[in-house]
A and B are shown apart, each in its own frame.
Chain A
Amino acid sequence: MKNNIKELREQCNISQGKLAERCDVTRQTINAIENNKYDPSLKLAFDIARVLGVTMEELFIPYGNGEK
């Protein structure tokens, strides 16, 4: 699933490391999500949305009808 995490993170002036720290994951996890190599769990997706102050719809872009 595509996402806008990188753009939104840069708008908030937050580094990958800082976002990872606030979401209690490693920087590699955030990097993998931003590069569409890994789809986060629901909990982590909500954590990222909360830290960036956005909704889930703003954060993730489903392909087609929500399919991968």
Chain B
Amino acid sequence: MDKSKKLVGIIVLIVFCTFVSYTLYKWLRFGTIDGGSIIFSFIALSYLLNWLNWGDHNGAKDKDELERHIETQSAKVGYYVLMIMACLILFISEGVSNLNDMKNYPLLLVVGLTFVTSPIIEFIYSRKFKN
């Protein structure tokens, strides 16, 4: 790995630590949760993970076929992980197990959409190969 890539990685790590520290500080000191810094912490974390995986904060540029295969399989697994996490967050945040008692309708809608997004995209994509 060349020096410039190492430097980018260090900068990304510092930015991530700064956002996380700021978020924790505001939460512990003032009892407020800063939505903006939480989002930016996740963006910085995604850069950091990309840098660890591919050596570049934006992901690998010229991927060969094994790397593309890894990316495709990871996207499929990631979709199901996200689906389970959305369900868990819904049930934990609402604190109820009965779907009819839930008040967070946007999150309920998101969970519902996770079930249909993949089949819809598969249906649209399959049109490409049909005469």
Residues of A that sit less than 8 Å from B by CB: 24-26, 28-29, 32, 38, 40-41, 44
Contacts and interface: CB of A to CB of B under 8 A. Distances in A.
A26 B64 CA distance: 7
A41 B64 CA distance: 11
B67 interface: yes
Contacts of A26: 64, 66-67
Contact of A24 (B64, B66, B69): B64
B58 to A, nearest CB: 18
Interface residues of B, number: 5
Contacts, number: 18
Interface of B: 64-67, 69
A41 B67 CA distance: 13
18 contacts: A24-B64, A25-B64, A25-B65, A25-B66, A26-B64, A26-B66, A26-B67, A28-B66, A29-B64, A29-B65, A29-B66, A29-B67, A32-B66, A38-B66, A38-B69, A40-B65, A41-B65, A44-B65
Nearest to B63: A26
Given A26-B67, A29-B67, A38-B69, 7 more contacts: A25-B64, A25-B65, A25-B66, A26-B64, A29-B66, A40-B65, A44-B65
A32 B73 CA distance: 15
Contacts of A24: 64
A26 B65 CA distance: 9
A1 to B, nearest CB: 15
A34 B67 CA distance: 16
A29 B64 CA distance: 8
A20 B125 CA distance: 32
